[in-house]
Structure formats: C-alpha cells, structure tokens
Amino acid sequence: MLRFSFRRLLTNPVAGQTRKMSGANLAGSQKSLSGMVAIVTASTDGIGLAAARALGQRGAHVVVSSRRQSNVDRAVELLEREKIQVTGTTCNVGKSEDRERLVNMTVEQCGGVDILVSNAAVNPFFGNIMDSTEAVWDKILDVNVKSAFLMTKLVVPHMEKRRGGSVVFVSSVAGYQPMPALGPYSVSKTALLGLTRALAPELAQSNIRVNCVAPGIIKTSFSEALWQNEDILGEFKKQLSIKRVGEPEEIGGTVEQCGGVDILVSNAALDLVYGNIMDSTEADWDKILDVNVKSAFLLTKLVVPHMKKRRGGSVVFVSSVAGYQPIQVIGPYSVSKTALLGLTRALAPELAQSNIWVNCVAPGIIKTIFSEGLWQNEDILGDFKKQLSIKRAGEPEEIGGVIAFLCSKDASYITGETITATGGWSCRL
C-alpha cells in the first residue's frame, strides 16, 4: 500500500472553468462571497478600493474606511452606484480606539466578520536607510506591521463565531527586494511575509486562512512618485516581463470547434518509479520527462500561435509540492515537477511580449483517484498532516479555483509565478 501511495502521489486531474482573456471576468460573475462581511482597511482609493470592489462584486458586504470622512463618503457613493453592499467609516489603524470602533461597528451593523484585508500602510521616509530616525521606524512599524496584527487579533474572535474566515495582508515586492530609498518601508513589508507564516498554522485550527499579496508597481496615488517618473519607471521596467505598471483592479481581483485557444492548463503526468533514485533507469527518465516536462513545453509551443492570433492567452502548468520538497522514493517524478517551476520562469518573459501569461500551480495532497492510496491510508496521511496548517487533504475544486483565477482577468498582472496550494505546507525553492 505504501508503494502504491507514493507512486500515485501529488499530481491531480483538474477541470478548471475557462474564459477568453478579452471576455467577462469569470470570478467576478459568481456570487461566491454572498452573505459574507469583509473589512478592508485604507480602502477608499487604489488597491484597497479595488479589493473592496472585487469582494463586493462577488457578493460580500464590504466595510470601507479611511482617515478622512470625505474619502469614505466618495468611496461609499461610488460602490453603491455599482450595486455593492457597502458600509463606511473613518479609521486611523494606528489608533487602538479607531480599530476597535471599526470592528465593533461592523459587527453591530453587519452581523459579524468573515474577511479582513489589511491594506493600510505609510511611508514617511525617502533616502538612505542609515539616515532614518527612531520616529520614522516607530511610525512605519506601528501602522504597517503592528496594526495589521492587532486588527487580526480583533477580528479573529468574530470569525471563530462564524466558524472560519480569511485574512489577507497586502505586502509589496519591496518585501522581497528592498528598495534602497525605501529601506524602513521595505523591511515592514518583509515583516508581513513573516507575520503571514507565523499566524497561518495557529489560525488554521479555527478554520481561518491567512495569506498575503505582494504587488509590484501599481498605479496608485501612494506610488505615483515611482510610476510618474519616467527614469525611475524605466529602470523598474527592465526587471519586468510585463512591460507596464499594474492597475489596482489587477490586484483586487487568476481550435477548430471553438474558434481558437485562449488558455492551456497542462496537467498530464505519470510516475513509473518507486524506490531509490539511483536504481531508476534511463527508460524511466525518458518516459517521465517526456510526459511530465517535454509534453508541457510542446503543447505550449503548439497553442502559442493560436493565442497570438487572439492577442493573448494564459498557460498554467500543474506542478506539485514534490517539486519543492522532493520525496525520496519518487525521485524522478519530483525532479520533473521541479522542472515545471523552471519552465514557468523561462517561458514567462518571452511570451509576455505576446501578451501571454505563464504561471504554475503546485498542489499538495489532493483527494483524487491518482493519490487515493495516500489519503485513504490514515497512517500515511497522518504523517503528512503533521506538516500542514490545514489538517486535511485538499479537494480538486480547490485547485481548480486557483487555476481559474490564474486564467482570469484578476491575474492579469501575474506571470512567471507559482502558487502553492498545499494546506500550509511550507514550500521554498
């Protein structure tokens, strides 16, 4: 049974909904958040407003906030015109009394809290990090990090009453690649990455998911000094596959018979080897790499001309958690899944020139026929659960949803990336 389990582990059939890249937003057309209540901080402009709009379009009652009443009034009026359920109030997240009032008002007027999007941030400093003062650090860490945690602490009891919820922190690409003139701000955004990982295992016990979004350069008033300066923007563009600035909505929100191809989901895979990698044969490697890697590339090569005719498209490869953490007894299979991570990164810059995005999904343990020997064996599954924050196997639909997101307009500023959907299994390459 153990042999069967590992041989059939970790790749899953997924049937994701598809959409034309030029068509209506798939995710936005579904009221998937109907009946839920979402608090979005700093949500009267930019990314915060786009997030509130996206949540509202999916059926959530959104609670927007800003330090200025005039900004709140304007945002509420805008969202109400779009038939979105919305409540607004002033809130300075750096003040404990404002945070408490925001949460209390939400519970009293909306009945509870299901979602928190922590978007508020400040940056009062520009220059060499060694010139920053203690007051600068206090301000940035208070608003960008401490308030994110303290808001989470306030909403969690209300989420627990509703048997679950979702927390999303808005970090930044600067959290991964600190910007020299924005040192303290960059550090605060790195801290949010750590806060996400620290909270996720603990809150998963209450069915509360904690995740983070790290946008690049987005056209907001907060970052206008970057994208309005052609010299600075030009330098940033050199590092981008998609040679433009992102829009807030892109953060707020994955041939013959049909007339063309817009989306390719490359999911096919096999595993022939169970045992020590040194015992695998050349024939084993040929078969595994032919199906798991080469076919993914060759299919992409076939569909790209058709995507170009339609002025764009989306390619999604299905890798595996084994691509990040090779499993000893399925070595060649694990290597093939790592190769897909590299294929994603290699193709993305080249195909971005044709408005074709290339991304990847790396599932964990999913309840499919392919892996039933694993998740039906309580002893084996129990060992894997020890590494998970969400203590269960995933459902195919949970991977299908990620794939649909990557193929949707909501993901139009994402390329060359891999989303791990592993139940909290830490994945780093």
pLDDT number for residue 231: 57
pLDDT of residue 117: 95
Instruction: In whole angstroms, give the CA distance from residue 35 to residue 58.
Output: 10
In percent, the amount of the chain with pLDDT more than 90 equals 29
pLDDT, average across residues 164-175: 88
Q: What is the pLDDT of residue 165?
A: 94
Helical residues (DSSP H) of 205-294, grouped into ranges = 224-227, 230-237, 248-251, 282-289
Can you say how many angstroms the Cα of residue 189 is from the centroid of all Cα atoms in its chain? 16
> Which residues, 6+ apart, have CB-to-CB distance to 83 below 8 Å?
none
Q: Which residues pair with 421 in a beta bridge?
A: 363
State yes or no: pLDDT of 276 exceeds 80: no
Structure confidence at residue 192 as a pLDDT band (50, 70, 90)? confident
Compute how many other C-beta atoms are within 10 angstroms of the C-beta atom of residue 312.
18
- Tell me the β-bridge partners of 316: 265, 359
Of 67, 58, 65, 68, the residue nearest 32 (C-alpha)? 58
Q: Render pLDDT for 305-349 as a digit per residue (tens, 0 to 9).
A: 989 988 999 999 999 888 887 766 777 888 888 888 888 988 888
Amino acid 427: pLDDT? 59
**pLDDT digits 0-9 by tens, 216-232:** 665 444 444 444 555 55
- Identify the CA nearest to 14 among candidates 289, 247, 286, 320: 320
Active-site position among 185, 274, 324, 413? 185
Q: What are phi and psi of 111, to 5 degrees?
A: 95, -10
Structure tokens at 257: 């018979």
Q: How far apart are CA 252 and CA 51, in angstroms?
A: 4
CA atoms of 144 and 169, how far apart (whole Å): 10
For 123, phi and psi rounded to 5 degrees?
-150, 90
* Mean pLDDT of the 5-22 span: 32
Indicate if 185 belongs to the active site.
yes
User: The tokens of 336 are what?
Assistant: 């093939």
CA–CA separation, 65 vs 48, rounded Å? 9
Q: What is the residue-averaged pLDDT of the chain?
A: 79
For the residues 127-144, what does the mean pLDDT come to? Answer: 84
pLDDT digits (tens, 9 = 90+) for 53-99: 989 999 999 999 999 999 999 999 999 999 999 999 999 999 999 99
Query: Greater confidence, 142 or 427?
Result: 142
Q: Which of 41-50, 99-108, 211-220, 343-352 has the lowest mean pLDDT?
A: 211-220
In whole angstroms, give the CA distance from residue 153 to residue 118. Answer: 12
DSSP per residue, 102-121 = HHHHHHHHHS---EEEE---
What is the set of domains in the chain, with CATH numbers?
A: 2-20+254-421 (3.40.50.720), 31-251 (3.40.50.720)
Number of other residues whose CB lies within 10 A of the CB of residue 338: 20
pLDDT digits (tens, 9 = 90+) for 229-247: 555 545 554 554 445 545 5
